[in-house]
Structure 1
């Protein structure tokens, strides 16, 4: 028995050891000590949980090469085993990071309900991105890892791992971040790099500064040195701080009131007039992992409530590193909008107080890895970004040159009821003040096209004789669209109004009660006036409608007498309509005498037939 017990114990020892390793790795994973957890996970049996956590450890440490390999193994073994949606998101993202775009597109399209074609996106952005970018790494000498540029007074301020020693960050086993500054040279180098401020740098992370125009106020991100329990895990949140310039250094350092122990607030930037502070946060009001917010800076220096920029900007994933230029254009980074992998940099124009759908700024500004921290440089044509496209976070300088782009509005004109295409329709483009900019006629296939410019408001009018004109309002934006498709739908008068009828003779009539005149007279009687008032109401309802008023007599007089009498009656009816405010150019009057009888009975007509031939008709001409 003793030997049997020993054998059982020897068999259990490896199992117990594996169990303890799993527990230790999972504990490290929960506290985000990913670098240390990797060393344990990679030696564990390839279970679903261990593979998922190992892949995530690599992913969160920006090692997309190993992350994509582990995710591929997990996918091949467990794709039919209820893998979570966020796995597929990270898997697709990691595949983009190693430039396996087709496979990434298949994963995103199949599992994330996000039809994606990176090749088509690249072709589109090559056409529509407003600038050409020339991007080069900024030489920072001994500062290999660096990011988060802010240019002030000729200096570039950035974050980089501390060179003062001390403990390392468990997430990536690297030193904690400090703020540094260097002098920009004309040779695309950063010279004379020194710690930015001993008053701001501490033993925890500092990064992402924003400095007021007068240089007296600075905002920056700092990681809380203490951890707080959030959803069962101990987490150190990032908070925003403010400091004031005193005797050439920063003093009076204080945390902003909307920072918290239970969510992060980071990446501050001021708008041009310094009335607002923009930032990224995962506070409870966030739509996703991190969103872009702003607070108003009040006259007394206090702050308003955080405002989320909403779903056009923010997604269920990460939006971070906002930047606002002098024209209030928003630049930010996101991995939630369609892009090339990791964080990409986007642009969004402000229109009537609302930011429009964002535009990916394309390659080479963006890459398969994380691209973030857009900031203006010393001139309007120079700027800086941060990227780990080389494997580590580095600063890059870019120069931009504006492209020539042609914007158009195009579409079809169709009948509202039959859906038939309508050629020869006049389409007019108006600016927001109502001035005509251009007019075209739809072609034989009902198509039209008109030139526009970005970030403007327009109105379109479709007009065709015998149809009710229709109007469409639209805005052009700078979110990647240079061709705007708007279908114009118009309805014919005879479909819209019961009293309007298109007859077999090809004319469109307004069917009203007959107008009666006294014998040999042409004055408008009260009954006739009530009938004509219906016509006036219709003309007021449709300001582009034009009609011909035709008066007819029977044949019981000479033709010349009947022709003259019918013209007087037609003129009398027209004058009544004009007296009600209808414009002279919209109505014409014509007397036909006895020339167009409805009943061709000659001189042998009954009283009923004579009355049918005595009539007024209203034909819509436009």
Structure 2
């Protein structure tokens, strides 16, 4: 991206005796910003004398000022050997950093500290050194986004800064140029468009911008189009005509009835000697972001925001502040719909020259800057991000080494692997156990599935086989409730955890896992005694033992599942003590069991405690301990069903 970044810097160039005319020519070219021409001229001198200090200085500065600082390293290296200074070592460090020669760059930055006591300069050097260290730990912001050169769209010249508007892709290109930009020796750029559907561009139908004519003999670049399509803003400049504006400025064209107006210089430029470029609208069109080197910023080029005024113009530019802006250069802003702010910078920790960054808020609300990582950035310029489908797809621009030409347009897509889908198909069978022990299906049983959040996930009546099928998620917890008139309702927990294969081992995109479970329902018959197994008490005591509590918890669950029933809980003894004693003991035991259930949340009016002593012996002439145990039992029976 070879737009001119810095204002012209006049250097003191010594005349070289016999080469006087050649030096004067090159010096004039350099001072007028014709950097490539100056490189060519002084290159002739260096071909004869590679150690010529003045020629090395001009070539180094020409590469730096035309945004090709990575090519300046050998020239700065020769300069510091003869005339070490802060600037020469600092720019050498930047050149080496742009080549990702981090160890050598750090050494050059450290050396520059010896030639200044200026706190601001020392702070900038330290920022560069720390930036190199931080760059080593950069993680990819979107690990699964893949970048691809749009070769069919690119040319050997510059192609960059694409934006999509109303089914057209607009971009900057050096194709169809009528002259060369003297600063870089590359073709002047114009604005073009082609029909597009997202990332799909009709490369066979590329045409020069039809809304207004591209001008000859200058650069037109970095177009921005308002969300409603009625305003076009772009950067225009670098003309060699003395009658034209001296610096790059923003121009605007407005749709008025039958077409767009001729572009006009925007008031927010404020001063014709200030560099203003890379505009971008906010998603709602109410704000315009742009880059400028106007005074009062934090570095070479900073990012600003201007607000739309009542008359439709943009005014009152505000610097975006030191979190985003650095002593380096920030440009190509892009505000995303979710408030994240994307931009390019060579001042934040990165891989070389311009990198793509995002400013976002962390959990505390503090704005933080993150490099997008190596799947977006390279050691060269990476800039001009635009989303066609945020944040999954879009375009960027880059002049990295694997490109078709100069700056190239790349597209990116989220290639996150589709997760392997596992559907758990659960067959729930409702059954009852007959008197002879045989199992029988229960059709027309209402079976409902609830998730771990207690929200219903599904429900249906069982078919003639007593079956209902549910689709469930892997590694999840559920509750299944079955109910049928004339039967005790029942709820059971069910989990799919550990019952499905590891998705990483699957080949197919969708895998169905079928599981089965059965719920047995008991008939609900008034006054029918049901024995609670394993309810034991210590000798001559009525306290609930821990093993008995486990069994009583099951009865608590039955009452919770069947809120309309009222029960009698009875206790029975064997015949080995007096009738009165056994009656009292059994009553206390029954009451103790009722009290326990009340403590578990069952309403007291749903429970009746009844001690029968030895009045309802199952084995009247019990002799063995096993026969006495059959008589010592705890039962419950439903005594009322509320409608």
Query: TM-score, normalising length from structure 1?
Result: 0.56
Partner of 2:85: 83
Q: What is the CA–CA distance in structure 2 between the aligned matches of 1:267 and 1:36, rounded to whole Å? A: 26
Partner of 2:233: 219
8 Å CA contact 1:197, 1:249 repeated in 2:
no
Q: 1:309 to 1:21 in 2, by over 3 A?
A: same
Counterpart residue number, 1:49: 54
User: Which residue is 1:343 aligned to?
Assistant: 354
Aligned residue pair count: 380
Shift of 1:246: 4.0
- Quickly say closer, same or farther: Cα 1:21–1:355, change in 2 above 3 A: farther
Query: Which residue number corresponds to residue 199 of structure 1?
Result: 212
Contact 1:227 1:237 (C-alpha < 8 Å) held by counterparts = no
SS at match of 2:30: helix
Show the counterpart of 1:160: 173
| Counterparts in 2 of 1:59 and 1:115: CA distance versus 1, 3 Å | closer
Listed as ranges, the matches of 1:234-245 within 5 Å are 236-245=246-255
State the match for 1:361 in structure 2: 372
Query: 2:16, 2:23 within 8 Å by CA — same for their partners in 1?
Result: no
Change (3 A) 1:37 1:212: same
Cα offset for 1:129? 2.9
Partner of 2:265: 255
Deviation digits for residues 32-85 of structure 1 (CA, Å, limit 9, x no counterpart): 11111112212334343321221222344455564222222223x23xx34243
Tell me the equivalent position of 2:79.
74
What is the match of residue 147 of structure 2?
135
2:135–2:349 CA contact under 8 A, matched in 1: no
Separation in 2 of the partners of 1:322 and 1:249? 28
Secondary structure of residue in 2 paired with 1:32: coil
Q: Deviations over 1:186-210 (max 9, x none)?
A: 8866512111226141112211111
Which residue of the partner structure matches residue 164 of structure 2? 151
Residue 391 of structure 2 is aligned to residue 380 of structure 1: yes
Q: Distance in 2 between matches of 1:210 and 1:33?
A: 28
Distance 2:366 2:182 in 1: 38
Residue 192 of structure 2 is aligned to residue 180 of structure 1 = yes
* Residues 312 and 355, structure 1, Cα contact 8 Å, conserved in 2: no
Match of 1:399 in 2: 413
Q: Which residue of 2 aligns with 1:32?
A: 33
Equivalent pair of 1:272/1:328 in contact (CA under 8 Å)? no
Which string of whole-angstrom CA distances, capped at 9 and with x for unpartnered residues, describes residues 70-111 of structure 1? 222223x23xx34243x3343223223333222123323443
Question: How far apart, CA to CA, are the structure 2 residues paired with 1:304 and 1:367?
Answer: 35
Distance in 1 (alpha carbons) for counterparts of 2:191 and 2:307: 26
How do 1:516-535 and structure 2 match up within 5 A?
Answer: none
Normalised to the residue count of structure 2, the TM-score between the two structures is: 0.54
Q: Are 1:148 and 1:395, in contact at CA under 8 Å, matched by a contact in 2?
A: yes
Separation in 1 of the partners of 2:259 and 2:304?
Answer: 29
State the 1:236 CA deviation.
2.4
Pairing of 1:407-418 with structure 2 (within 5 A): none
For the residues of structure 1 that align with 2:198 and 2:86, how far apart are their CA atoms? 50
Judge conservation of contact 2:236–2:249 (CA < 8 Å) in 1.
Answer: yes
Give the CA deviation at 1:248: 6.0
In structure 2, relative to structure 1, the CA distance for the partners of 1:294 and 1:64 (3 Å cut) is: closer
Give 3-state SS (helix, strand or coil) of 2:44's partner.
coil
Q: Greater CA deviation, 92-101 or 23-32?
A: 92-101
Shift of 1:115: 6.0
CA deviation after TM superposition for structure 1 residue 341, in Å: 0.7
Counterparts of 2:104 and 2:382 in 1: how far apart (Å)?
A: 22
Equivalents in 1 of 2:372, 2:154: separation in Å?
A: 30
Against the structure 1 CA distance between its residues 108 and 175, is the aligned structure 2 distance closer, same or farther, given a 3 Å change threshold?
Answer: same
- Aligned residue for 1:362, secondary structure, equals coil
Q: 1:297 to 1:235 in 2, by over 3 A?
A: closer
Instruction: Give the equivalent residue in structure 2 for 1:121.
Output: 134
The offset of 1:185, in angstroms, is 6.6
What does 1:490-505 align with in structure 2 at a 5 Å threshold?
none
Is the CA contact 1:313–1:355 (under 8 Å) kept in the aligned structure 2?
no
RMSD over aligned Cα, in angstroms? 3.1
Q: How does 1:259-270 map to 2 (within 5 A)?
A: 259=269, 260-270=271-281
Unaligned runs of 5+ in 1: 1-13, 404-622
CA displacement 1:379-435 (0-9 Å, x = unmatched)? 5301211111126211111124689xxxxxxxxxxxxxxxxxxxxxxxxxxxxxxxx
CA distance in 2, matches of 1:148, 1:373: 5
Report the CA distance shift for 1:224/1:48 in structure 2 as closer, same or farther (over 3 A): closer
Q: Secondary structure at the match of 1:305?
A: strand
Q: Any idea what SS the aligned residue of 2:297 has?
A: coil
Alignment-derived partner of residue 370 in structure 1: 381
Distance 1:150 1:116, change over 3 A: same
> Does the Cα contact within 8 Å between 2:212 and 2:262 map onto a contact in 1?
no
Cα separation, partners in 2 of 1:139 and 1:15, compared to 1, 3 Å: closer
**C-alpha separation in 1, matches of 2:279 and 2:366:** 18
Listed one character per residue, the Cα deviations across residues 259-304 of structure 1 (whole Å, up to 9, x for unaligned) are 2311121111111221111100111222221110011102331333
Q: Deviations over 1:128-172 (max 9, x none)?
A: 73544311111245633201111112322111115152x321112
Equivalent residue number for residue 105 of structure 2: 104
1:226, distance to aligned residue in structure 2 (A): 7.0
1:334 CA drift (Å): 1.2
For 1:290 and 1:115, locate their aligned partners in 2 and report how far apart those are by CA, in whole Å.
17
Which of 312, 317, 322 aligns to 2:323? It is 312
Distance of 2:91 and 2:71 partners within structure 1: 13
Match for residue 331 of structure 1 among 318, 342, 352: 342
SS at structure 1 position matched to 2:91: helix
Structure 2, unaligned runs of 5 or more: 1-14, 113-124, 418-643
Pairwise CA distance, 1:372: 1.0
Q: Tell me how far apart the structure 1 counterparts of residues 132 and 328 of structure 2 sit (CA, whole Å).
A: 22
Change in Cα spacing, 1:354 to 1:285, as seen in structure 2 (3 Å) is: farther
SS at match of 2:96: helix
The alpha-carbon distance between structure 1 residues 396 and 355, as it changes in their structure 2 partners (threshold 3 A), is farther
| TM-aligned CA distance change 1:118 to 1:336, over 3 Å | closer
Distance 1:135 1:18 in 2: 49
Q: Deviations over 1:445-468 (max 9, x none)?
A: xxxxxxxxxxxxxxxxxxxxxxxx
| Greater mean alpha carbon deviation, residues 277-286 or residues 93-102 | 93-102
